[in-house]
Structure 1
Amino acid sequence: MSERALVEPQHRTSRRVYRSDVRAARKRLAGQIRKTPVFHTTVAGPHGPVPVTLKLEYLQHGGTFKVRGSLNALLESGTDTEQVVIASGGNAGIAAALASARLGKACTVVVPESAPHTKVAAMWSYGAEVLWHGTTYAEAYSYATDLATERAALQLHAYDLPAVVAGAGVVGLELEEQVRGRPPVLVAVGGGGLVAGIATALGRRQQVIGVEPEGIPILHAALTANRPVDIDVSSIAADSLGATRIGDIGLDIARRYDVRSVLVTDDAIATAREYLWREFRVVVELAGATALAAVQSGAYIPADGERPVVVLCGANTDLAVL
């Protein structure tokens, strides 16, 4: 189970996130994160080789881009925060645990019973307290909220928090320095934090395209309805891209910067991940291969002379699945 969005009777009113917030996050994160490299190559497409630039974000500390957001949120909160609580079944919990350990804070991750053991083990490895509660992320989130109040702890959100989105957006600032021109950037969509952060960093200077499994089209559904829409999740990538609705911040930014949504099949995602291992010996989780699946399957067809950027966003997976 992933960071599935809780359907709340009263939705939070989130502060807007701007490029200035992302630039502030980059200063805050200096020396705390890796500036992950890019790799210019070609990949197999439906009609022959396709030039791409791979952003190797799976090399980030903790194997996930989410460390950027967690560290930014904790650094922004100041020194008064000694305890951190988050509800997560996956990478957000790993990121919060790592960030808390790095800054000497106690971290508790509330996970649903279905949380993958591989990811729970990673949370433990960074010293987090892991508490199981409920069978869904919504139940875990509700318990985490109560726990944060009881302990007077800082509660992080997996993707719908301004500091988390701004931290993720530093990926976009790095791409401006690493890649010539202004090619489109393809990004997998979970709750919307990464695609929103990158879109905020790049603004209208570059097209940002969200790539989603056909069985989890939260951005696509929200853009179609012009509001967040709850959906049923059905995809092999649900362990990390399984939010049931787009975050408020993610939808606001998608509207502001005309972020597109492209849908891919589960077969295309599995094929892309296997291809990365076979051709490049790159190990990513299914979410990490989702953006590449759009290029390889033909769901996204680059224009003549275009070399799109494809973000490989995470690598927390069981090696036995390859």
Structure 2
Amino acid sequence: MTTTVVPGVADVAAAAERIRPYVRHTPVLRAEVDGRPLVLKLEHLQRTGSFKMRGALNALLTGERPEQVVTASGGNHGIAVATAAAILGVPATVFVPATVPESKARRIEAAGARLVRAGERYAEAAAAAHKAAATPGARYVEAYNDPAVVAGQGTVAAEIVADAPEVDAIAVAVGGGGLAAGVTLGSGGRLTVAVEPERCSCLHQALAAGHPVDAEVNSVAASALGATRVGDVTFGVLSGSSVRSVLVTEAEILAARDRLWDEFRLAVEPAAAVPFAAWLAGAVPGETACILLCGANAEWTP
């Protein structure tokens, strides 16, 4: 029987030191919206345009450096792995589904990786990538189901706690759960509000079932949140912690995205607006919540 390794708080602290030379300490923006205080973590300003850079770097800086890197991605993770591999001088191959947005595909190639299109869904691209990674000297970098990746993502929460200690809840978008799990570890005991689209909700369904299950993937935010099944590592963290699972509609996501632009001139991809949609709907508790804007890799004009 395989035992799932679950990262801890110390792993997040170690990751922060490991990746510090390569990532940005992204700013927070304090605001008042609809008469309520709010903190926005502007992680969409991170290198590669999303939080994924943190986990990819920590994974590649942990253990022996591989001869080549292989991964599968709906877009943001692939851009991050391609960039992290380039920083370390390691060739990278990124498998993507046919549904990957062209803007993300271009960024993967621009970062220096070889792009391979495989299948219609992320799961099919991942299967092809795992097969390719069987080559000696190659390493497969998981998008979320890896302790080092989760620990790397948790460094964003450590920054929030340091810069905005008044925050009592952190709302994050969920795909495979790597960011939510990392935030839970790095937030100093604050409530994690894990938000998903109604039609892209593998964590919500896993928590209801008591174990990871396959879920539908059909959302405007699917390129970033399109995991069909939450990972064992991420589920191990999230199921054993104080986490609130929230669902939002497609209309709420798009309205939240538009409001971020209209009110703050923050241009983010739909996935990044998912937690803000939950906050606008009153589903994020606390006196002062933080909304983590996770990415901006989309070609969008309001």
TM-score (norm 2): 0.96
In 2, are the aligned partners of 1:57 and 1:65 still within 8 Å (CA)? Answer: yes
Unpaired runs of at least 5, structure 2: none
Give the aligned partner of residue 110 of structure 1: 95
Structure 1 residue 178: Cα displacement: 0.7
* 1:15-54 matched pairs, under 5 angstroms: 15-43=5-33, 48-54=34-40
| Identity across matched positions, percent | 45
What SS does the aligned partner of 1:268 have?
Answer: helix
Please give the alpha-carbon distance, in whole angstroms, between the structure 1 residues aligned to 2:186 and 2:225.
22
Structure 1 residue 117: Cα displacement: 0.7
Please give the alpha-carbon distance, in whole angstroms, between the structure 2 residues aligned to 1:146 and 1:214.
32
Give the aligned partner of residue 75 of structure 1: 61
In 1, are the aligned partners of 2:167 and 2:290 still within 8 Å (CA)? Answer: no
* 1:123-272 matched pairs, under 5 angstroms: 123-203=108-188, 205-272=189-256
Please give the alpha-carbon distance, in whole angstroms, between the structure 2 residues aligned to 1:100 and 1:178.
29
Do residues 290 (structure 1) and 274 (structure 2) align?
yes
Please give the alpha-carbon distance, in whole angstroms, between the structure 1 residues aligned to 2:39 and 2:121.
36
What SS does the aligned partner of 1:157 have?
Answer: coil
Please give the alpha-carbon distance, in whole angstroms, between the structure 2 residues aligned to 1:129 and 1:37.
32
Please give the alpha-carbon distance, in whole angstroms, between the structure 2 residues aligned to 1:233 and 1:74.
29
Structure 1 residue 155: Cα displacement: 0.4
Give the aligned partner of residue 60 of structure 1: 46
Residue-pair matches, total: 302
Distance 1:234 1:112, change over 3 A: closer
TM-score (norm 1): 0.90
Letter in 2 for 1:28: R
Structure 1 residue 234: Cα displacement: 2.2
Q: CA RMSD in A?
A: 1.5
Deviations 1:30-89 (A, max 9, x none): 21101111110022xxxx33210000000000001000000001111333x121000112
Please give the alpha-carbon distance, in whole angstroms, between the structure 2 residues aligned to 1:192 and 1:101.
26
Distance 1:61 1:222, change over 3 A: same
What SS does the aligned partner of 2:239 have?
Answer: helix
Unpaired runs of at least 5, structure 1: 1-10
In 1, are the aligned partners of 2:67 and 2:137 still within 8 Å (CA)? Answer: no
